[in-house]
A and B are shown apart, each in its own frame.
Chain A
Amino acid sequence: MSTVQTPLDTADTATGGPRRAAAWSDAVAALALVALLVLGAATHRFYTFDNLRAVLTSASLVGIAALGLTLIVIAGTSVSLAISETASVCAMVFLATQSWGLVPSLLVTLAAGAAITALQGLAVGYGEANPIVLSIAAGFALVGVATWVTGGTSVAPHGAGYIHLNATPGGIASSVYVLVAFTVLLELLLRRSGFGRTLYLTGANRRAATAAGLAVGRTITIAWLLAGALFAVAASFSGAFNTTANINLGGTLTFDAIAAVLAGGTPIAGGSGSAVRTLCGAVLIAALSDVLLLRGYSTGAQVMVKGLIVLAIVVVVHLRSRQGAR
């Protein structure tokens, strides 16, 4: 839990909002984590290797998609409501191209996800289109086109290259390694690159960023493009795990990813947030569900607690930041 160093922290902002928000939400997140660890200690079988592995595995797919969404949120372009559909289509592409071998089909899948989402990013970045309405439209278009092409059937793979994605090196699912690797990469990108700095500034105040001559349109487009690529990575793992893919494969991924980003304490208004935070949010939700599962609560209770946690974190983060920015 390190404080997030956004470019705004170094500036002497009048409100001190972002810095305080980061500090406070980190404190709240740390408290929640401590509470969870205590609860875990009181729960039978929570601290076993098998169980922690299960938590990480269940957090990994949502986590990878949520990392992508983090970029969209930081850019101040709200959220995409087409994550499930994008992931479904990407998983279909991934399995349909299995006969070409694993690496080519992965590349094609990444390109598909990136292209689908970057196209929306272009309209959002350069045309200032509304991301919510546009992504709803994209969701309809993706479902429509996918149903048209496949005739409403599931895609079955020709070839078994996807098996490698289900590998468990060191007893841990490979999607977990990928999640951690992407978290590190994104964190570096956000903190150490010009793109990252521009992204935070764009999210914090788009008009000011435009007035300052930053490449706002390009930055937003790249953020959406990378997000699409990450949705495609999550989709590839999901397709490999399920071995067939149809348009319903994405399931509740859209709202799970948004929940993970929000549980990490990232405000939806944009301008702050980090990859590590989102990783923590995804793990927090997975660990909570796991504790409830071990204590014998129903699926309904797990989902309910997830919602309440998101609600509580949103309210607390907002109150602590006192930004009131909308």
Chain B
Amino acid sequence: MMSRPWIARAFLSRPERLLPTSALGIALLAYLALPVYAGGPPLAFDTFNALQFFARLAPLVLGLGLTMFAGEFDLSIVGTYALGGMLAVQYGGTHWATGIAVALAAGAVIGAVQGALVARFNISSMPVTLGTYIALLGLTKSISGGLSKTYDNISVTLWVDRQIAVILSPRSLLALAAFVVIGLILGCSRWGREVRAIGSDRRASRVSGVRADRLLIGLFATSGVLAAASGALLNFSLGAANPDPGTQPLILAAVGALLGGVSLAGGRGTVVGLLAGALTVSLLAQIVTAAGLQGYLAQLFYAALLVLIVAVEAPGLRRAWTRTSVRLHSRRSAERTRPTDSRKVAS
């Protein structure tokens, strides 16, 4: 095994550490090189825009990532995102706080109901959240009559996008704050370990005294609240509510979470990793916009990254890789020492 370069070993054994770091590192390097090939617009403006995109995407990455820690997959986030945004615009006309409160309450209730279903009945979360996603999309459409809804409270719109310290805004600060709060909660309590335990082996975790049901309900409720908050803040900033955001936010959130080193099988990942994944996707989006690159280049790049993730995680491919490297290694050592039967060594 010593013949394998240490990078490959680290990559194959600890993808949850190396993947977010390397993905974010590459994205940052490309981003810092932006003035070189984009003809030098000021970086501060680009950074502000990247963080605005981050504010929209990161709560979804965090919510989806949290459920993925526990081995679940919350497809409904994009439905909650649409509904939360619509409710915030609908009820936030007179006072923004009412709109936000309604949106967050709806997100929490939807998440908790789904979490209860998944936990109590031990159902796979994907079909459940798919049904919810379709239902929420319909509900959002019927609230608005299938049309976009405008939000006239200009002062709120201006406030959520106000520049703070050149590159930040209240929206991006709130998104970062969500990561800090949830990261501290999971890092400084038993919950972080318990959530990962649920993800790696639910039955064993229940037996060892983890309250899996409560945690799952909490995770799904958190995921719902984050998605609703993201949608509400986005619509305040746009000054309008779109009843159907499409599936792009969901897919990008999944990419962010996977780049953050979370596995679909569950039981792996950290909040810091999710933050790195969300930042990576935001930076890449901004690079494509600022450098005037073709949109398809970003699509192909995401495809390549995901294929890499799949290749690293697929057990069958990993076994093939191990077999090949063992065979090569034994052949090399056979050449170095006296000639032996390489098949005997390899086996």
Assess whether A307 is in contact with B138, with CB atoms less than 8 Å apart: yes
- Indicate if A132 sits at the interface (CB-CB under 8 A): yes
- In order of increasing CB-CB distance, the 9 nearest A-B pairs are A304-B138, A307-B135, A300-B142, A300-B141, A311-B131, A307-B134, A303-B138, A144-B299, A137-B306
Output the nearest chain A residue to B127 by Cβ-Cβ distance: A314
> Which of B90-98, B176-184, B313-321 lines the interface with chain A?
B313-321
12 contacting pairs across A/B (C-beta < 8 A): A128-B317, A133-B310, A140-B300, A298-B142, A298-B146, A300-B143, A301-B138, A304-B138, A306-B134, A310-B130, A314-B123, A315-B128
- Indicate if B294 sits at the interface (CB-CB under 8 A): yes
> Which of A4-12, A24-32, A99-107, A255-263 lines the interface with chain B?
A255-263
Assess whether A315 is in contact with B123, with CB atoms less than 8 Å apart: yes
Contact with B along A284-323 (1 / 0, CB 8 A): 0000000000000011111111111111101100110000
What is the CA–CA distance of A163 and B134 in the complex, to the nearest angstrom?
A: 33
Assess whether B131 is in contact with A303, with CB atoms less than 8 Å apart: no
Contact with B along A125-155 (1 / 0, CB 8 A): 0111110111011111101110110001000
Select one of A139, A140, A304 contacting B142, CB under 8 A.
A304
Contact with A along B129-170 (1 / 0, CB 8 A): 011111111111111111000000000000000000000000
> Which of B20-28, B251-259, B325-333 lines the interface with chain A?
B251-259
What is the CA–CA distance of A315 and B316 in the complex, to the nearest angstrom?
A: 33
Assess whether B310 is in contact with A134, with CB atoms less than 8 Å apart: yes
Q: A147-B299, A298-B141, A312-B131 are in contact. List 12 more A-B contacts (CB 8 A).
A: A128-B315, A130-B310, A136-B306, A137-B306, A140-B299, A268-B127, A300-B144, A300-B145, A304-B138, A304-B142, A310-B131, A314-B127
Q: Which of A137, A255, A305 has the most CB of B within 10 A?
A: A137
- Indicate if B345 sits at the interface (CB-CB under 8 A): no
Number of interface residues of A (CB under 8 A): 52
Chain A residue contacts of B258, Cβ below 8 A: 133
Expressed in whole angstroms, the minimum distance between the Cβ of A214 and any Cβ of chain B is: 15
Chain A residue contacts of B140, Cβ below 8 A: 300
- Indicate if A78 sits at the interface (CB-CB under 8 A): yes
Select one of B138, B144, B306, B313 contacting A302, CB under 8 A.
B138
Assess whether B303 is in contact with A144, with CB atoms less than 8 Å apart: yes
Chain B residue contacts of A268, Cβ below 8 A: 124, 126-127
Chain B residue contacts of A133, Cβ below 8 A: 254, 258, 264, 306, 309-310, 313
Select one of A140, A254, A262 contacting B131, CB under 8 A.
A262
Select one of A139, A300, A319, A326 contacting B138, CB under 8 A.
A300
Chain A residue contacts of B132, Cβ below 8 A: 307, 311
Assess whether B316 is in contact with A307, with CB atoms less than 8 Å apart: no
Q: Which of B134, B135, B265, B316 has the most CB of A within 10 A?
A: B134
Expressed in whole angstroms, the minimum distance between the Cβ of A19 and any Cβ of chain B is: 20
Assess whether B128 is in contact with A299, with CB atoms less than 8 Å apart: no
Chain A residue contacts of B295, Cβ below 8 A: 147, 152
What is the CA–CA distance of A66 and B317 in the complex, to the nearest angstrom?
A: 29
Chain B residue contacts of A145, Cβ below 8 A: 296, 300
- Indicate if A36 sits at the interface (CB-CB under 8 A): no
Expressed in whole angstroms, the minimum distance between the Cβ of B118 and any Cβ of chain A is: 10
Select one of B139, B247, B302, B311 contacting A140, CB under 8 A.
B302
- Indicate if A324 sits at the interface (CB-CB under 8 A): yes
- Indicate if A269 sits at the interface (CB-CB under 8 A): yes
Say whether, besides A298-B142, A300-B140, A302-B138, A137 and B315 are in contact (CB < 8 Å).
no
Expressed in whole angstroms, the minimum distance between the Cβ of A20 and any Cβ of chain B is: 16
Select one of B131, B141, B247, B310 contacting A123, CB under 8 A.
B310
Assess whether B296 is in contact with A303, with CB atoms less than 8 Å apart: no
Contact with A along B282-314 (1 / 0, CB 8 A): 000000000000111111101100110111011
Q: Which of B117, B140, B146, B296 has the most CB of A within 10 A?
A: B296
Output the nearest chain B residue to A139 by Cβ-Cβ distance: B251
- Indicate if B121 sits at the interface (CB-CB under 8 A): yes
Chain A residue contacts of B126, Cβ below 8 A: 78-79, 268
Output the nearest chain A residue to B131 by Cβ-Cβ distance: A311
